[in-house]
Amino acid sequence: MLQETAYHGALGEAFAAQSETSSYNAYIDRPAMLALAGDVAGLRILDVGCGPGHYAAALTERGATVVGIDGSAELLAHSRSRTGDTVDLRQHDLETPLDFAADASFDLVICALVIHHVRARGQLLAEIIRALRPGGRLLISTTHPAADWHHFGDSYFSREWVDLPVKDHDDLAIHFQRSTIEEFLGELLSAGFALETLIEPRPAPALRAIDPDAFERLSTRPSLLAASLLRP
């Protein structure tokens, strides 16, 4: 199984295809994160772990100037196909400092379903807060610890690195570190952020017509966490 921070090779291609219509990506995380973003017209935004470019495209359409970074060449290719020349896309290893970003150069940073893959989380959060202007915001989402606990069936307090098989791809898995809500928020607050909003997003109503069983299931149990934080 692949165990990379970025989704390389076949894993990148599988995720690009899945993210188009996946309940978790298309009907829970994206609607929630874009709702948290609100009015972004005129803002300069950094999309950390931009993947196949769904968030970058949506934020650009809303009038933002977006810089997207990802470690995966495969996902950046999909992002370029989706955004054309409207987004500044860069291949960048999230385990390394954001050396391209000047201090206080972004109004908003979005980090969607990425942070649990990163080993150097403290470094990344420190770099994000450095790159944000005072009063700027970080929007971040992750897997819900209770959902991971339910799936893996052991201790809620586990901090193990685990492999989650990719649907319809027995040879591929997503590698990430489990956490608790306490640890997730603790890392963000320790980095210097102030919590503005914490949500446990439910599926968008549009999912009911497409997959009523998934809609009912995901409406009654947590799947993701999302938060908006301020840089003082």
CATH number at residue 19: 3.40.50.150
The answer to whether 111 touches 119, Cβ cutoff 8 Å, is no
pLDDT of the residue at 201: 98
Q: Is residue 182 part of a domain?
A: yes
Q: Is residue 131 part of a domain?
A: yes
Alpha-carbon torsion angle 140, 59, 48, 46, nearest 10? -110
Q: Is residue 71 part of a domain?
A: yes
Intra-chain end-to-end CA distance of the chain, in Å? 41
Q: Is residue 2 part of a domain?
A: no
Q: How many domains does the chain have?
A: 1
Which residues are bridge partners to 93 per DSSP? none
Q: Is residue 136 part of a domain?
A: yes
The helix (run of H) or strand (run of E) holding residue 108 is: strand 106-111
pLDDT of the residue at 3: 42
| H-state helical runs in 84-176 | 121-131, 145-152
Find the domain containing 221 and state its range: 9-230
How many residues would you count in the chain? 232
CB-neighbour burial class of residue 60 (10 A; exposed 0-12, middle 13-18, buried 19+): buried
The answer to whether 222 touches 216, Cβ cutoff 8 Å, is no
Instruction: Using the structure block, give the residue that is written with the tokens 């829970």.
Output: 28
Measured distance CA(4)–CA(118) in Å, rounded:
9
Q: Is residue 1 part of a domain?
A: no
Q: Is residue 4 part of a domain?
A: no
Give Cβ neighbours of residue 165 (< 8 Å, ≥ 6 apart).
172, 173
Measured distance CA(115)–CA(1) in Å, rounded:
20
pLDDT of the residue at 4: 58
Q: Is residue 185 part of a domain?
A: yes
- Sites in the chain below the pLDDT cut of 70: 1-4
pLDDT of the residue at 41: 98
pLDDT of the residue at 1: 32
pLDDT of the residue at 94: 96
